[in-house]
Amino acid sequence: MTETSTTRAPGDHTVGAASPPRRTGSTPARQPPSAEHAPSAQHRAVIPSLRAQTYKSHIKPIWCPGCGHFGVLAALTKTLAYLELPPERIAVVSGIGCSSRLPAYLSVHGFHGLHGRALPLAAGLKAARPELTVIAAGGDGDGFSIGGNHFLHACRRNQDFTYIVMDNEVYGMTKGQASPTTQPDWHRSKLTPHGTGVRRFQPAAIALAAGASFIARGFAGDPAGLTRLLAAAIEHPGFAFVHVLSPCRTFRAEHHAWKQLVHPCERGPAEDIARAAELIQRDDGMALGILFEQQIPVYAPAVTTAAEQGQSDAAASAAALAALEAELCR
């Protein structure tokens, strides 16, 4: 799914070894696009050129040295710059955990919410402000344990926003307990010295079964490849789930081997659910790329904004006043 060109991102900022696929299209050198290749209205920027640095806040990340989340932050800022999304038109919502610190490190609208509640917050925000590019972020514990029920219904609802889960197979912020994606025989936590004995949560398989229309897996150690996936996810019309393998060097030192274990998906993205299920069930959990993508109706609830309600009330009042004047002034 990758391209080998060296397309430049806005502001002469190189996006790794290759640029993300532009679903809406643009010229390779990132010059003002022609009418034929103009970005979609939803993502069209009012700022002609934005660097990745534009999207970083002044707050320095406090993640542990070597944490994979640094790579996710780098890939996301490159993606936003490449898509030329105005910072004031972006909102990042998170729950609780190491990964959920992400909004603080970005210079966009952000909300750091409750544990496991990023998805309902993101869904409500997208419903009320459909013009925003909404991104939810969290970790494996936040997203698949206490937030697991929300994950199922976000997949089946297919609302138009992106969900990034940074999976390090451990509760890192609370000092290394087993998470839903931890191997059943992992015994290095004091809470589970003999392992959990519980089968692992399968994010891609669960997302597919729940009805997600876009499922991808990336690796934090490959920011260029992750940038391409995030760009495709953000531009996908519907709920886009990006499962990111993000190593925890503090509590899961064995994750250092992930760099040698990850590999491209054996086939391109499946459009058929049965084929995608076969691909995911045969997968070793280390295949990178878009695993499934399907165009289905996007859930867009009818929501009346405060401004629209005010205009409606004003029109009703004016009509009532006109009728009263007509009756009394005959």
Q: With bands split at pLDDT 50, 70 and 90, how would you rate the model's confidence at 3?
A: very low
Residues comprising the chain, all counted: 330
Q: For the chain, give me the number of helices (H) and strands (E)?
A: 9, 10
**Residue 2 clears pLDDT 80, i.e. is over it:** no
Residue ranges of the domains in the chain?
A: 13-23+48-299, 303-330
User: In terms of pLDDT, which residue wins out, 326 or 204?
Assistant: 204
User: Which residues, listed in sequence order, are joined to residue 293 by a DSSP beta bridge?
Assistant: 214
Tell me the per-residue pLDDT of 86-135, one tens digit each, with 9 for 90 and over: 999 999 999 988 888 899 999 999 988 888 789 999 999 999 999 999 99
CA atoms 304, 308, 310, 312: torsion sign: negative
Find tokens 């889960």 and name the residue. 165
Please check whether residue 195 is in contact with residue 203, taking contact to mean a CB–CB distance below 8 angstroms.
Answer: no
Q: What is the mean pLDDT of residues 253-280?
A: 86
Task: Classify domain 13-23+48-299 at the CATH topology level.
Answer: Rossmann fold (3.40.50)
Return the number of other C-beta atoms located less than 10 Å from residue 211's C-beta. Answer: 18
Write down the pLDDT at residue 309.
Answer: 67
44's CB contacts (< 8 A; 6+ apart) are 38, 84
Q: With bands split at pLDDT 50, 70 and 90, how would you rate the model's confidence at 289?
A: very high
64 alpha-carbon distance from chain centroid: 22
Please check whether residue 269 is in contact with residue 293, taking contact to mean a CB–CB distance below 8 angstroms.
Answer: yes
Tell me the per-residue pLDDT of 211-248, one tens digit each, with 9 for 90 and over: 999 999 999 999 999 999 999 999 999 999 999 999 88
Which burial class, exposed, middle or buried, applies to 30 when counting CB atoms under 10 A from its CB (0-12, 13-18, 19+)? buried
Q: With bands split at pLDDT 50, 70 and 90, how would you rate the model's confidence at 287?
A: very high
Tell me the per-residue pLDDT of 177-207, one tens digit each, with 9 for 90 and over: 877 887 887 787 778 888 888 888 899 999 9
Strand locations in the chain, DSSP E? 8-9, 13-14, 90-94, 109-112, 133-139, 162-167, 214-219, 240-245, 263-264, 287-293
Dihedral (Cα; 47, 51, 56, 57), 10-degree rounding: -60
Write down the pLDDT at residue 193.
Answer: 86
pTM: predicted TM-score of the whole model, two decimal places: 0.76
Write down the pLDDT at residue 141.
Answer: 79
Please check whether residue 179 is in contact with residue 169, taking contact to mean a CB–CB distance below 8 angstroms.
Answer: yes
Q: With bands split at pLDDT 50, 70 and 90, how would you rate the model's confidence at 23?
A: very low
Write down the pLDDT at residue 49.
Answer: 58
> With pLDDT > 70 as the criterion, what percentage of the chain qualifies?
82
* pLDDT averaged over every residue in the chain: 81
Q: Among residues 35, 38, 235, 284, which one has the least CA distance to residue 133?
A: 235
**Residue 20 clears pLDDT 60, i.e. is over it:** no
Strand locations in 60-175, DSSP E? 90-94, 109-112, 133-139, 162-167
Tell me the per-residue pLDDT of 32-65, one tens digit each, with 9 for 90 and over: 334 443 445 454 444 445 788 899 999 999 899 9
- Quote the radius of gyration of the chain (alpha carbons, Å): 22
Find tokens 């005010």 and name the residue. 310
Q: What is the amino acid identity at position 181?
A: T
Give the separation between CA 291 and CA 270, rounded to whole angstroms.
6
Return the number of other C-beta atoms located less than 10 Å from residue 270's C-beta. Answer: 21
Q: With bands split at pLDDT 50, 70 and 90, how would you rate the model's confidence at 308?
A: low
How far the first Cα of the chain sits from its last, in Å, is 74
Element (H, E) at 168: none
